[in-house]
Structure formats: structure tokens, C-alpha cells
């Protein structure tokens, strides 16, 4: 029997050099380098966290440093290139949380000191911007070649302080003074390539770099990060087979499962399906399906945004918008769709070329399940570790038609919600119901139109149809009377399932469900 080859998955590995020297699996993205070196002088690429941006920058770094031996067998080794080294400045802003005023200063000081020593440059001033400018010119003078500047997560100080206006503006000003050198030192620069989550709009971060090429939405760069299906099948065949053996599924069944769990990202109107690379590496290494990407970093930004607004999740999870709404973040008027898209919780699902509008949605099972599971404790009084048990018990009760049991569970879920959650509006109460039912995996809709009005919550199981009307500081009787008066149950008059109408009142003063009433229509 032929012995299987040991597959090394580069989990957490962001160094191209270490990846290649360690014989880890590498999905060849070097064809994009050819496009870049023959294109613009300034580039920006926006992608969600852990999508391969750091590895791509590391690949660019090794390429411009002339380390051709690392590229043997890859696409870029076949192009006409002299492989002579360029001086490279690789600034990584990803290793700080930026909760203190001096975090960025310390990082930049250390970066400048190391590079000045490397090129034997004596700083004449303490000002970081001036030293950065002198460093660029000094590297050019020392080598006779223009400098390559790579900035990883250029916006990390901003993203981490998006809900702290004072600290955000302080870091914005500090970054702007550094990045201003990209324009003023243009004659000494071969390439500037910045990555991040967002291209912040209406700010001076790029300091006049109006000619920067934003490739985030260009179809030809859609797959520069992440894994396409073609790349999955050609690079991870053994991993797919191993996962099949472990799970008892065929090769095709595993591919279908991977697609449902981790595929579904699109970064332009003509983007191929993109798999989350972080999750693909983990599931093939662990041989177990789980919420890897979403568990690697909690969506705190999104929760903070939901706390501050009355965002309608029902509409947000199936919203239409144009490219400008997604391209950048405006700190003074943050749009939920832009924030959710750029952080990777929403993706492009469809495009209307006539109206030039994108339709957004959740990309896959991992994001849907993990996102709702994370959000539910913020809309309830339950602990995160209790969510799954709560959800499966609730599911059993709804599928079995045990109205009193699942309504008591709903009452306990809403009891004692923290005052930091903005529950003084009906929208957030409805969001809480939507999150719970979506997490359960039930067929749930909100604001369902009928000929006479809109049903607040509609849930369908194999044997039951639940029509729920929510009242905010009203009575359950009023809610139930509205269901009857507007004949919300009429569309299911000939349905074989049992129709159950439930009127629910939520008290803003008590911050909990304050009474409910149900009427069954068993068939």
C-alpha cells in the first residue's frame, strides 16, 4: 500500500519565505504580481481579516528582494524579470490593538530605527514623518533603485477605534503624516501597496494620493486573496480525501459540504466563488467542520454598531446598494452595510448591471451560524456557552408544537437584558426574534407582506406555521386581534400544516415579554 504524503497546512503562516522553505501547501497567487509590476505605482486592496492579505504582501516582498529560488515552479518564475533586488519597506500595523495613545508611536519608532541602522542612515530629527521621508531617499541613494513600500493593515489603528471619535482622529492624523510621504517622495518610489479592511472616505489618511488604484472591486483581482473552487480541487485533493475518510463521506460529498460551509464570497460583480482560506486550512487539518474564521475574532465592531442604532437586520441581510456604499467607511456616518461587508459578514450575492446595484447576503453556513450565535447573547440574558443547548431545545419545542414550552423559553431569554443594548425601540425586539429563529435554522421571515398588512414574524416547520405579531407596550390581545382582523392566516387556509397565531407584548419599562396569547388552528 502506497504511503500517503504528509500534507503541511500553513495555518497562521504569513511569511512566504517560511512557507516555501517549510514545504507547506501554497496556492499560487503570483500571476497577480505580474499585473501589479506592470501597472500603477500606488495600490490599495481591501479584504476582510485573515483572508491572505499579509501572505500576499510577504510574497511581494520576497519577489522584489529578488529571492527567485522561492518562486521555482510558480507562475511568476516564467515571466521576463531580471530578479535584481529592490530596497523594501514592509510596515506591518497588525500587531497592536491601539488602545493607548503611544501604541503607534512606539511601533513606528522601532520600525524606523531598524531600517535606519540597516542602511546606515543617521536621523537628524525626531519627527517620524521627516525620518520616514529621509529613510526613503536614503535607501534610494544607497542602492540606486526605487523603494518598494508595503503597508499591511494600514487602517488597523482606525478600525480598532471606530467608535472612539477622539482616539480615531488622533490616529488618523498620525497616519496621515506618515502616508503623506508616499506622494512627496514619489520620485524615489517604485511601488506602494497598502492593504486593509476599509478605504476610509472623507478623511485625509491618503494625503492627496488621488491616483491610488483601488483594486478591491476589480473583477481581474477578485481572487487575489482566498481560494477559488478550481484552486481548492487542484491544491487540496488529499486533504479532501482525508476529510472524507474521517467523516464517512465521498469526495463529492465533502466538496459539497465545504462549499456550503466556507464558500460564497464575492468581491466584484464578476467574481468567482471564493472560499475562506483560513477556514479551509483549518477544516482540512482538523478533519472537522466548525466555525473557524468567525471564532478567531469576535465581531465586536458589529455589535457596537447594532447597540448604537435601530438597524433592521431583516433588511440588512438582504440589502441592495451601490459600489460607493461599500467602498469606504465614513466615521461620521457609518453605514451598516459598508461595515458588515468590509468585515466579511456580508458579501456580494448578485449584481444588477442596469441599475448598477449589488445585493448583499451572508456568504455561508459558518458565517450565518457563528454570527447569529455570537449576537444572540447580546439580545438576551443567556451566556454564550448556553446558546447551542438553548437553541436545540427551542427547535424541538417548535417542531413539536409545544407553544407554552417555547414561549416560556422566549420569556426567559428576554428577561433581564442589559441596559447597554438599545431595547427602547421595537426594531431591536424584532431583531432578537429574527436572530434566534435564523440560528435555529428554521424557515423564518420578518415583515411578511399579505394583502392586508405585514406579519411581524412568520415561522414554518414541517407540521406547523407560526404567525407572530409583536406589540411594543401594548397587549397580547391587541396583537392577536390584529392577526384575526387582517386575516394573516388566510394564505395557509388550505395548507396541511397546523396554523398557530401568537400575540406577544414587549414591555419597554420591564424590558421583557409581558404576556402572550396563542390561538391554534389544528387540522
| CATH code of the domain in which 64 resides | 3.40.50
Using DSSP, state whether 322 is helix, strand or coil. coil
Residues 56 and 180 in one domain: yes
d(CA 73, CA 64): 17
pLDDT of 228: 98
The bridge status of strand 147-152 relative to strand 42-46 is unpaired
For the ranges 75-84, 336-345, 372-381, which has the lowest average pLDDT? 372-381
In a domain, 222, yes or no: no
Which of the listed residues 195, 216, 237 is the one where a domain comes to its end?
216
The residue from 172, 188, 216 where one domain ends is: 216
Distance CA 218, CA 37 (A): 17
Q: Residues with Cβ < 8 Å from 291, sequence gap 6 or more?
A: 366, 369, 370, 373
Is 374 contained in some domain? no
pLDDT at residue number 523: 46
The pLDDT confidence band at residue 189, using thresholds 50, 70 and 90, is very high
For residue 205, the 8-state DSSP code is: T
- 177 plus 255 within the same structural domain: no
> 193 and 261: one domain?
no
- What's the farthest any 2 CA atoms get from each other in the chain? 87
Edge to edge, the sheet with strand 42-46 lists: 88-92, 147-152, 189-196, 42-46, 213-214
The reply to whether 481 and 511 lie within a common domain is yes
Q: Where are the beta strands (DSSP E) in 473-511?
A: 498-507
* 516 located within any domain: yes
Percentage of the chain beyond pLDDT 70 is 91
372 within domain boundaries: no
Q: pLDDT higher for 495 or 66?
A: 66
Residue 379: pLDDT above 80?
no
3-state class of 127 per DSSP? Answer: coil
Same domain, 38 and 159: yes
Looking at the DSSP bridge assignments, the partners of residue 364 are none
Q: In the predicted model, what is the mean pLDDT of residues 358-375? A: 89
Q: Give the model's confidence band at 387: pLDDT under 50 very low, under 70 low, under 90 confident, else very high.
A: confident
DSSP 265: B
Same domain, 84 and 182: yes
Cα-based distances in Å from 448 to 154, 303, 412, 435, 459: 43, 26, 26, 16, 11
Which residue, 307, 221, 318, 337, is CA-closest to 272?
221
Q: Does the residue 8 lie in any domain?
A: no
Mean pLDDT of 182-188: 93
**DSSP-based three-state secondary structure for 504:** strand
Does a structural domain hold residue 10?
no
Q: Note whether 428 and 347 are same-domain residues.
A: no
Beta-bridged to residue 44, according to DSSP, are 194, 214
Tell me, yes or no, whether 445 and 475 share the same domain: yes
What's the total number of domains in the chain? 4
Helix H or strand E segment including 472: strand 464-472
- Both 51 and 122 in one domain: the answer is yes
Residue 412 exposed, middle or buried by CB count within 10 Å (0-12, 13-18, 19+): middle
Does residue 2 surpass a pLDDT of 60? no
Quick count: other Cβ atoms within 10 Å of Cβ 105? 12
CA distance 336 to 313: 10
Instruction: Kindly tell me if the per-residue pLDDT of 145 is higher than 90.
Output: yes
Terminal-to-terminal C-alpha distance of the chain: 61
Query: What pLDDT score does 295 carry?
Result: 87
CB 426 within 8 A of CB 460: no
Residue 300's pLDDT is what?
76
Is residue 418 over pLDDT 70?
Answer: no
Do the domain assignments include residue 221?
Answer: no
Model-wide pTM > 0.75: yes
Average pLDDT for 71-91 = 97
Look at residue 355 in the predicted model and tell me its pLDDT.
93
Lowest mean pLDDT among 327-336, 424-433, 454-463: 424-433
Measured distance CA(60)–CA(36) in Å, rounded: 10
pLDDT of residue 422 exceeding 80, the answer is: no
User: Residue 34, class by beta-carbon neighbours within 10 Å (0-12 exposed, 13-18 middle, 19+ buried)?
Assistant: middle
The boundaries of the domain holding residue 313 are: 300-365
Q: Is the pLDDT of residue 431 over 80?
A: no
Which of the four pLDDT bands, split at 50, 70 and 90, describes residue 447?
A: low
pLDDT (average), residues 107-121: 96
Range 113-117 average pLDDT: 97
- CATH classification of the domain holding 517: 3.40.1350
SS3 assignment, position 396: helix
CA angle 121, 126, 132 (to 5 degrees): 55
Q: Is the pLDDT of residue 363 over 90?
A: yes
pLDDT tens, 146-158?
Answer: 999 999 999 999 9
Q: Is 438 helix (H, G, I), strand (E, B) or coil?
A: helix
**pLDDT over 90 for what percent of the chain?**
63
pLDDT grade for 32, boundaries at 50, 70 and 90: very high
Lowest mean pLDDT of 292-301, 307-316, 392-401, 480-489, name the range: 307-316
Q: Which of 181, 216, 251 is the last residue of a domain?
A: 216
| Per-residue pLDDT tens over the stretch 287-307 | 999 999 988 877 777 877 776
Regarding whether 69 and 167 lie in a shared domain, the answer is yes
57 plus 108 within the same structural domain: yes
pLDDT tens figures, 309-346:
767 777 788 899 998 888 877 777 788 888 899 999 99
Same domain, yes or no: 176 and 73: yes
Spatial CB neighbours of 463, under 8 Å, sequence gap ≥ 6: 399, 401, 497, 498
Q: What is the DSSP letter of 6?
A: P
Predicted pLDDT at 372: 81
Q: Examine residue 259 and state whether it is found in any structural domain, yes or no.
A: yes
Q: What would you report as the CA-atom Rg of the chain, rounded to the nearest whole angstrom?
A: 27
Mean pLDDT of 103-132: 94
* Alpha helices (runs of H) in 445-508, residue ranges in sequence order: 476-485
Distance separating alpha carbons of residues 53 and 14, to the nearest angstrom: 9
What are the grid coordinates assigned to 48, written together? Answer: 476582510
Asked whether residue 267 carries a pLDDT value surpassing 50, the answer given is: yes
Q: What is the mean pLDDT of the chain?
A: 89
Q: Tell the burial category of 389 from Cβ atoms under 10 Å away from its Cβ (0-12, 13-18, 19+).
A: exposed
- Select from 385, 382, 386, 408 the least CA-distant residue to 397: 408
In 3D, which of 9, 11, 12, 13 has the Cα closest to residue 25? 9
Amino acid at each position: 500500500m502506497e504511503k500517503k504524503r504528509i500534507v503541511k497546512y500553513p495555518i497562521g503562516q504569513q511569511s512566504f519565505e517560511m512557507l516555501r522553505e517549510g514545504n507547506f501547501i501554497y496556492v499560487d497567487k503570483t500571476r497577480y504580481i505580474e499585473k501589479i509590476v506592470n501597472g500603477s505605482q500606488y495600490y490599495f486592496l481591501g479584504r476582510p481579516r485573515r483572508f491572505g492579505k499579509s501572505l500576499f504582501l510577504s510574497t511581494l516582498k520576497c519577489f522584489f528582494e529578488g529571492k527567485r529560488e522561492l518562486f521555482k515552479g510558480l507562475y511568476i518564475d516564467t515571466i521576463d524579470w531580471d530578479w535584481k533586488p529592490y530596497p523594501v519597506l514592509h510596515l506591518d500595523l497588525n500587531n497592536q490593538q491601539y488602545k493607548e495613545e503611544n501604541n503607534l508611536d512606539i511601533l513606528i519608532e522601532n520600525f524606523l530605527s531598524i531600517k535606519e541602522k540597516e542602511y546606515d542612515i543617521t536621523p537628524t530629527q525626531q519627527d517620524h514623518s521627516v525620518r520616514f521621508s529621509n529613510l526613503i531617499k536614503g535607501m534610494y541613494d544607497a542602492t540606486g533603485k526605487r523603494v518598494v513600500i508595503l503597508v499591511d493593515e494600514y487602517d488597523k489603528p482606525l478600525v480598532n477605534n471606530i467608535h472612539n471619535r477622539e482616539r480615531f482622529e488622533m490616529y488618523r492624523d498620525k497616519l496621515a503624516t506618515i502616508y503623506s510621504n508616499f506622494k512627496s517622495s514619489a520620485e524615489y518610489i517604485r511601488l506602494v501597496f497598502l492593504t486593509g479592511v476599509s478605504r476610509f472616505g472623507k478623511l485625509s489618511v491618503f494625503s492627496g494620493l488621488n491616483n491610488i488604484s483601488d483594486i478591491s472591486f476589480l473583477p481581474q483581482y477578485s481572487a487575489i486573496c482566498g481560494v477559488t473552487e478550481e484552486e481548492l480541487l487542484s491544491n487540496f485533493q488529499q486533504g479532501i480525501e482525508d476529510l472524507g475518510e474521517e467523516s464517512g463521506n465521498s469526495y463529492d460529498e465533502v466538496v459539497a459540504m465545504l462549499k456550503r460551509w466556507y464558500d460564497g464570497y464575492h468581491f466584484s460583480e464578476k467574481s468567482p466563488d471564493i472560499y475562506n482560506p483560513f477556514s479551509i486550512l483549518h477544516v482540512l487539518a482538523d478533519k472537522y467542520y466548525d466555525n473557524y474564521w468567525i471564532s478567531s475574532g469576535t465581531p465586536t465592531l458589529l455589535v457596537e454598531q447594532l447597540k448604537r442604532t435601530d438597524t433592521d437586520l431583516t433588511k440588512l441581510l438582504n440589502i441592495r446598494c451601490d459600489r460607493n456604499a461599500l467602498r469606504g467607511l465614513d466615521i461620521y456616518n457609518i453605514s451598516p452595510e459598508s461595515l458588515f461587508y468590509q468585515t466579511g459578514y456580508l458579501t456580494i450575492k448578485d449584481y444588477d448591471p442596469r441599475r448598477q446595484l449589488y445585493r448583499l447576503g451572508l456568504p455561508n453556513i459558518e458565517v450565518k451560524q457563528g454570527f447569529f450565535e455570537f449576537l444572540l447573547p447580546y439580545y438576551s440574558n443567556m451566556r454564550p456557552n448556553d446558546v447551542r443547548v438553548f437553541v436545540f431545545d427551542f427547535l424541538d419545542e417548535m417542531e413539536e408544537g409545544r407553544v407554552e414550552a417555547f414561549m416560556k423559553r422566549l420569556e426567559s431569554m428576554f428577561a433581564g437584558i442589559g441596559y447597554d443594548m438599545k431595547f427602547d425601540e421595537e426594531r431591536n425586539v424584532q431583531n432578537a426574534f429574527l436572530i434566534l429563529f435564523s440560528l435555529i435554522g428554521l424557515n423564518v421571515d420578518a415583515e411578511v407582506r399579505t394583502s392586508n398588512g405585514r406579519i411581524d414574524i412568520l415561522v414554518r416547520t414541517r407540521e406547523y406555521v407560526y404567525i407572530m405579531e409583536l406589540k411594543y407596550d401594548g397587549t397580547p390581545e391587541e396583537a392577536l386581534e390584529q392577526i384575526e382582523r387582517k386575516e394573516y392566516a388566510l394564505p395557509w387556509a388550505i395548507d396541511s400544516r397546523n396554523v398557530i397565531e401568537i400575540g406577544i407584548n414587549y414591555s419597554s419599562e420591564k424590558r421583557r415579554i409581558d404576556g402572550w396569547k396563542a390561538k391554534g388552528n389544528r387540522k
